[in-house]
Copies of this chain bind each other. A is one copy, B any other.
Amino acid sequence: MTAAYYAAVDWGTTSFRLWIIAEDGTVLAERRSGEGMTTAAKTGFSTVLEAHLAAVAAPTHLPVIICGMAGAKQGWLEAGYLDTPAALSTIAMGAVAVPDVGRDIRILPGLAQRDPQHPDVMRGEETQLLGAAGSLGDGRHLVCMPGTHSKWVRLDGGKVTGFSTFMTGELFDVISRHSILSHSVADAQVFSGDHPSFLAAVTAACAKPALATNLTFGVRAGQLLHGASATDAKATLSGTLIGLEIAGALAAAGTVDSVCLVASGSLGALYHAALASQNLSPRVVDADEAVRAGLSTAAQAIWPL
């Protein structure tokens, strides 16, 4: 077996993932748990990390590279932000070392856009971006990273020139659970990206984004007047919010050479269908592979072989 080189950790608000990486890039072991920042802030970050490293019998002095909310103010150690415009190659240099622990642990910084008109921040996605950028080459790319707070990044020749966060996933969740539409979407079935109500809503919101909060009320009115199903309602709400996001991202982006979607699973499939329906054919990069590639790129810069 080839020797362990470093441990790579993606430490989000609600999830923890760790990989032990060999010198030849092989994944020697993997751990996943729900001990995200919120839990670890109580248990102790070092305790959580060492327990996972012990579970895979990691060597005592194996170095660890971490991205995500562990580097937030409420996390383990604040890792600050790189200011845009920022070359992706400088992310590794911004890593902070955790003091007074028995191994070399570095936490990567986030990205900040300090423009007073469009203040924005990310923490974790910059590492996915670093990983995805390896397959994009030069030129102007628009990179979509969907999620609770979707990020759309303008990348030009390996430099982040700007980015925009959209609260799409969180709004979908709070509207579904806490608004009058909770009655409309209760008992909805799972739907996929080819659902007609989803695609119609994406197109309607892209065409007239100003009507977004009217289109969401139409979900309720459509049920009262036309007996639309709960699944139609949920697909319409999802399509409206994703369509609004796409319209906003395009409005902010200017001209680009390509659109790249960094995503995985069912959310990735929904965004792929939504983008394709608007004649944007994104190149797709798996989100899990992207974050691991980004952590590896940073690790190799910090601890060259």
**CB within 8 Å of B: which residues of A?**
112-114, 116-121, 149, 164-168, 170-171, 174-175, 177-180, 204, 208-214, 216-218, 221-222, 224-226, 241, 244-245, 247-248, 250-252
Contacts and interface: CB of A to CB of B under 8 A. Distances in A.
B179 A214 contact: no
Given A116-B226, A171-B175, A251 B210 contact: yes
A30 B278 CA distance: 56
A222 B120 CA distance: 7
A221 B167 contact: no
21 contacts: A112-B225, A113-B221, A119-B226, A120-B221, A121-B221, A121-B225, A165-B214, A165-B217, A165-B221, A166-B214, A166-B217, A167-B179, A174-B174, A174-B179, A178-B178, A210-B210, A210-B244, A210-B247, A211-B248, A211-B252, A212-B244
Given A177-B178, A179-B167, A119 B251 contact: no
Copies in the complex: 2
B167 A213 contact: yes
| Chain A interface, >50% SS class | helix
Contact of A217 (B149, B204, B221): B149
Given A212-B212, A213-B248, A251-B211, A224 B165 contact: no
A113 B225 CA distance: 9
B210 A248 contact: yes
Contacts of A225: 112, 114, 119, 121
A198 to B, nearest CB: 16
B213 A210 contact: no
Contact of A179 (B170, B217, B252): B170
